[in-house]
Structure 1
Amino acid sequence: MRELRAGLTGVLKQVQQPGAEPVFVGPHRRAEAVVMSVSQYEQLQQQAAVRREAVAEALASVRAEGLEPSPEGLERLQAVADGRMTPEEALEKALAPYRR
């Protein structure tokens, strides 16, 4: 952390460069925080909003057909909306029991 404080100006300049990666910081080389540009953060927020909207639309479509996902299905949808799982991973988990 001492290094971060001493080099904060440089880190801020670094993350502002085009194509720059976020910088992970923490004691003893263990990441506990991330420094990124505002534009990177806003992009992540926009991607999350798009995921949440897509999941909401998919769930509304299913419910419009008079169906209700199982609790496991709802959990998978939530995991996709949260970014913890890709849509492809969710599909694979949903189909796995039928591929035996």
Structure 2
Amino acid sequence: MKEFTGSFLLGSAILLAILIFFCMIRAIKGPRFTDRVVAGNMISTMIIVILSILSVYLEEPFLVDVAIVYAMLSFITVVVLCRLVIVRRRVHEREEQEDGKR
């Protein structure tokens, strides 16, 4: 691998690591649960990209497989969390309607 390409890949991975730090702050501080879910999804996506970059940089193709498995797990997690948000919202709306009838 050429020196410039290696430096570029490493720089990209470092930049993504810094961005992950800022997303973690949003995931912790996020005012709503949905903000935390979106921040968690962003973190997962950036980790997948870092794994792909490392796969090219280290010339280890198995890291792509790890990234694909991580992407599938991340997708399932987001779907489950979105389902949780929908169920919570429906329960909250039902409670508001019952309180309004009284």
TM-score (normalised: structure 2): 0.38
Of Structure 1 and Structure 2, the greater helix share is in: 2
